[in-house]
Amino acid sequence: MITGFVIFLASLISIGFVRHRYGARRVIAGVRHGGRVPHEAEFELYANGFSHCSRKTMLALAEHGIAFTYRHVDLIETGRYGTLDQDYLRINPNGLIPALVHSGVPIIDSDEIVNYVTTQLGSQSESANGLEIPERHQFWLEKCRLDSLDPMEAIGTHIGACIPGLTLPLFAVMMQSVSFSALLRGLALHNDGKRVMFFVMARLLGPERVVTVKPIRTLIERSRSAVAVHLRELERHLAENEGPYLTGSEFGIGDSALSVVYLRLEEAGWLDLVCPHSEFPLVRKHYDALRTRRSWEVLVDAYPARVAEAAGRLGELATNKNTQMADLYRL
């Protein structure tokens, strides 16, 4: 027993040393003036086409007409922890995406990047006036926030906080093609141990069994109930003008933030369940209008094939009456 405890303690110390020496570490989000990095283009966006936060920044740049070089960074969901590579940690020591490098200066955290684009770079774009921040847009921009360090703490007040819980079934499907060695690297080096442990559980149990684990099931159910409340509030707001956008015919940054919420609900199989056309006609019209904008093309171009395959597999599980996943999606 003593020997086992010593081995366990030694393992914890070793993991702690490796994480401190080679892993992600928390730094303040924003512009890292003292952290200049090599660059080839004026604007380089380190991102992943599946990442909710990456999508927000991609749309903000596209709507401002700012040309950028897209640097794909793998997430564990798309195969490996590219965010923990030493080259990337020099850009963002937090080990999170996205990161925008502007003339060699990194800006980290999606909300900080969007703020930087809208306040510091607006003069570079002919479409800047379309991303001014009136009160209604500011309201939904805040509602769509997703805290990178504790993303699910505000489910009742922020629609963005509902997204991680509702993505868990899709995450679980995606983990089936991820190697255990990649997951163990995350355990050793990633800051968010709870997130990595879910991925390990999903890999071990499989998508149908992991969603029956009580804390996970409860989180999904809470997220589903809360997102319905937020969508009803959005439907009321959209009814206050002639649309199709939040403040009428003029597109704004609040619309951009909601774009990625809709997309995640759709690919995770929830959109038609929590937002049916019959109950939310204006919300669905809003989403349709957003998908016709030219900026949407940046999301299409960066969309990983691996995600499309996993979404298709999740759809099969959710519609098969004899699966635990189908029971979850019938709630």
Same domain, residue pair 128 and 168: no
pLDDT, tens digit, 9 for 90 and up, residues 204-213 = 999 999 999 9
CA–CA separation, 129 and 189 (whole Å): 42
- Kindly report the CATH number assigned to the domain that includes residue 85: 3.40.30.10
pLDDT band of residue 127 (cuts 50, 70, 90) is: very low
226 and 190 in one domain?
yes
Tell me: pLDDT of 126 over 60. Answer: no
Tell me the residue range of the domain where 103 lies: 26-133
User: Residue 5 pLDDT > 60, yes or no?
Assistant: no
200 lies in the same domain as 222: yes
**Exposure of 273 in the CB half-sphere (CA atoms within 13 A):** 21
Residue 15 has pLDDT above 70, yes or no: no
Among the ranges given (13-22, 33-42, 219-228, 244-253), the one the predictor scored with the smallest mean pLDDT: 13-22
Q: What is the pLDDT of residue 194?
A: 85
Domain boundary residue among 83, 118, 133? 133
- Report residue 9's pLDDT band, with 50, 70 and 90 as the boundaries: very low
Asked if residue 175 and residue 95 are part of one domain, the reply reads no
At 230-243, the pLDDT tens digits run 999 999 999 998 88
pLDDT at residue 324, rounded to an integer: 86
Q: Of 84, 116, 133, at which residue does a domain stop? A: 133
What pLDDT score does 31 carry? 87
Considering the domain boundaries, does residue 6 fall inside one?
Answer: no
Top pLDDT among 12 and 189 is at 189
pLDDT of 122 above 70? no
d(CA 302, CA 147): 23
Q: What percent of the chain has pLDDT over 90?
A: 71
The answer to whether residue 72 sits within a structural domain is: yes
Dig out the tokens for 297 from the structure: 């093309």
Burial class (CB in 10 A: 0-12, 13-18, 19+), 20: exposed
Arithmetic mean of pLDDT, 302-309: 94
Q: Are residues 65 and 115 in the same domain?
A: yes
**CA angle centred on 163, ends 158 and 164, rounded to 5°:** 115
Q: Answer yes or no: is 230 within a domain.
A: yes
Tell me, yes or no, whether 84 and 145 share the same domain: no
Tokens standing for residue 235? 């439907």
Please give the Cα distance from 40 to 172 (Å, whole number): 37
Q: Tell me which residue of 316, 263, 207, 296 sits closest to 51, measured CA to CA.
A: 263
One domain for residues 127 and 228:
no
Does residue 148 sit in the same domain as residue 108? Answer: no
Distance, in Å, from the CA atom of 136 to the CA atom of 141, rounded to the nearest integer, reads 9
Per the domain annotation, does 10 fall within a domain? no
pLDDT of residue 148: 57
Predicted local confidence at residue 149, as pLDDT: 55
Question: Considering the domain boundaries, does residue 14 fall inside one?
Answer: no
- What is the chain's mean pLDDT, rounded? 87
127 versus 256: the higher-pLDDT residue is: 256
Kindly provide the residue ranges of all beta strands, DSSP E only, lying in 73-226, ordered along the sequence.
99-102, 105-108
- Confirm whether 289 is domain-assigned: yes
What's the total number of domains in the chain?
Answer: 2
What pLDDT shows up at residue 136?
A: 92
Look at residue 70 and tell me whether its pLDDT is greater than 70.
yes
286 and 307 co-located in one domain: yes
Residues 96 and 185 in one domain: no
Reported as a single tens digit per residue, the pLDDT across 77-89 is 999 999 999 999 9
Residue 3, domain member (yes or no): no
Task: Examine residue 62 and state whether it is found in any structural domain, yes or no.
Answer: yes
Burial of 298 (0-12, 13-18, 19+ CB in 10 A): buried
Residue 102's DSSP bridge partners are: 43, 105
In terms of Cα–Cα distance, which of 37, 29, 23 is closest to 91?
37
Bridge partners of 108?
30, 99
Residues 38 and 168 in one domain: no
Domain boundary among 133, 161, 181: 133
pLDDT for res 199 = 94
Average pLDDT rounded to a whole number, residues 167-183? 95
Query: Rounded to whole angstroms, how far apart are CA atoms 281 and 245?
Result: 13
Do 125 and 146 fall into the same domain?
no
Whole-angstrom distance, CA of residue 101 vs CA of residue 118: 15
